[in-house]
């Protein structure tokens, strides 16, 4: 068994060095497909439940995908520190390829390949010819190249059941790796291909939806009505009316624009400028806005 493991480690290192020559940053993996180097921020004697948020700044090995490198000297050092490694991982999202991995799983009970083809038909994109890695379980990893400065997040089943995405901060098991389930290999006819550019329509699906912000309403007559409501306040009503009007303005998205006019109206009725601004600030906080 020990001889077999040494052979598997030697082969994994050879494959990792070959990948690095193609510009792919790698790390050693164990037979369970996890990073083979333990974190330097925890020990068996004193496990740290909240390790320091270090991505390798400490200079030691054991930071998972953040150790990934194309430097053959560093790669050899990582494998020397992990003699039980039988595979290697390829970091996604890094220059020059900005790799995106489309993992078509077979364990979910769904036809993930059919699901991807359906997405392509629905969103009008064509899957390009690219390098394909075959997994021991019968799944496939499609390697695509993303544009620079675009961060594709990792996801599991978000695109469709059985389709996982490996993006920035993730890694793909490299071809030639040996795991407890078998060996990863390159699909025939794809070994010579570079990672193909990700179709724009697919890239849009992979990115998180933009945060929707509520567009402020024009001040218009509604704002004028709130100002008139404050101007009509009698003594004893001034703070109450101002607070009510400011709350309505912030709830309707016009608070920041209307605040100066409300403050001026309140001062006209007899409040000091400081009192008016403090009341409007309280209304902003009450409605969940920054004054």
**Domain definitions of the chain by residue range:** 1-42+59-91, 97-211, 220-286
* pLDDT (0 to 100) of residue 43: 60
Q: Would the pLDDT of 3 be above 60?
A: no
* pLDDT (0 to 100) of residue 45: 53
The pLDDT tens digits of the residues spanning 83-93 come to: 999 999 999 99
Per-residue CA distances from 12 to 193, 257, 275 (Å)? 21, 63, 72
* pLDDT (0 to 100) of residue 212: 55
* pLDDT (0 to 100) of residue 240: 85
* pLDDT (0 to 100) of residue 218: 52
Mean pLDDT confidence for 183-205: 95
Mean pLDDT confidence for 129-144: 96
Q: Which residue has the higher pLDDT, 108 or 97?
A: 97
What are the tokens at 232?
A: 């009509």
Q: Would the pLDDT of 47 be above 60?
A: no
* pLDDT (0 to 100) of residue 59: 81
- Lowest-confidence region among 58-62, 65-69, 106-110, 253-257: 106-110
* pLDDT (0 to 100) of residue 50: 47
- Lowest-confidence region among 11-15, 188-192, 236-240: 236-240
Contacts 24+ apart (CB under 8 A), 145-150: 145/97, 145/98, 145/99, 145/100, 145/194, 145/195, 145/196, 145/197, 145/198, 146/93, 146/98, 146/99, 146/100, 146/198, 146/203, 147/98, 147/197, 147/198, 147/203, 148/95, 148/98, 150/98, 150/203, 150/207
Q: Cα angle at 136 between 131 and 142, to 5 degrees?
A: 20
DSSP 8-state secondary structure symbol assigned to residue 211: P
Strands (E), the chain: 26-29, 87-91, 99-104, 132-134, 140-145, 155-160, 163-166, 171-173, 178-179, 182-183, 185-186, 196-197
Percent of the chain residues topping a pLDDT of 90:
55
Give the mean pLDDT of the chain: 87
Mean pLDDT confidence for 172-181: 96
Confidence of residue 211 (pLDDT cuts 50, 70, 90): low
What span, in angstroms and rounded, lies between the C-alpha atoms of 20 and 26? 7
DSSP 8-state secondary structure symbol assigned to residue 35: B
The answer to whether 181 and 106 have CB atoms below 8 angstroms apart is: no
Highest mean pLDDT of the ranges 76-85, 152-161, 231-240:
76-85
* pLDDT (0 to 100) of residue 224: 85
Mean pLDDT confidence for 68-82: 96
* pLDDT (0 to 100) of residue 250: 87
Residues shown for the chain = 291
Per-residue CA distances from 63 to 24, 69, 84, 108, 164 (Å)? 17, 12, 17, 30, 23
What span, in angstroms and rounded, lies between the C-alpha atoms of 159 and 165? 8
Q: Where are the alpha helices (DSSP H) in 89-237?
A: 112-123, 200-206, 220-231
The answer to whether 100 and 146 have CB atoms below 8 angstroms apart is: yes
Percent of the chain residues topping a pLDDT of 70:
88
Contacts of 246 (CB under 8 A, 6+ apart): 255, 258, 259, 262, 279, 280, 283, 284
β-strand pairing of 196-197 with 87-91 = unpaired
> What is the pTM for the complete model shown?
0.69
Q: Would the pLDDT of 38 be above 70?
A: yes
């Amino acid at each position: 068994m020990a001889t077999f493991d040494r052979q598997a480690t030697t082969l994994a290192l050879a494959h990792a060095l070959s990948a690095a020559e193609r510009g792919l940053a790698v790390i050693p993996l164990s037979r369970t497909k996890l990073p083979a180097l333990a974190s330097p921020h925890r020990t068996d004697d004193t496990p740290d439940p909240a390790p320091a948020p270090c991505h390798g700044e400490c200079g030691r090995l054991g930071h998972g995908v953040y150790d990934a490198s194309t430097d053959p000297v560093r790669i050899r050092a990582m494998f020397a520190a992990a003699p039980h490694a039988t595979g290697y991982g390829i970091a996604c999202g890094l220059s020059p390829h900005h790799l995106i991995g489309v993992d078509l799983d077979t364990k979910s009970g769904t036809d993930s390949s059919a699901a991807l083809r359906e997405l392509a038909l629905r969103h009008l994109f064509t899957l390009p010819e690219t390098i394909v890695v075959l997994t021991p379980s019968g799944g496939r990893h499609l390697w695509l190249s993303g544009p620079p400065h675009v961060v594709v997040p990792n996801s599991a089943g978000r695109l469709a059941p059985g389709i996982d995405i490996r993006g920035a901060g993730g890694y793909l098991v490299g071809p030639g790796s040996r795991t407890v389930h078998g060996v990863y290999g390159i699909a025939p006819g794809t070994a010579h291909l570079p990672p193909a550019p990700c179709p724009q329509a697919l890239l849009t699906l992979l990115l998180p939806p933009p945060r929707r912000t509520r567009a402020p309403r024009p001040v218009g007559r509604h704002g004028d009505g709130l100002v008139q409501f404050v101007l009509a306040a009698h003594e004893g009503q001034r703070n109450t009316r101002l607070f009510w009007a400011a709350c309505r303005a912030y709830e309707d998205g016009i608070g920041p624009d209307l605040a100066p006019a409300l403050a001026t109206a309140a001062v006209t009725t007899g409040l000091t400028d400081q009192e008016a601004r403090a009341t409007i600030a309280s209304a902003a906080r009450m409605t969940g806005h920054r004054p």
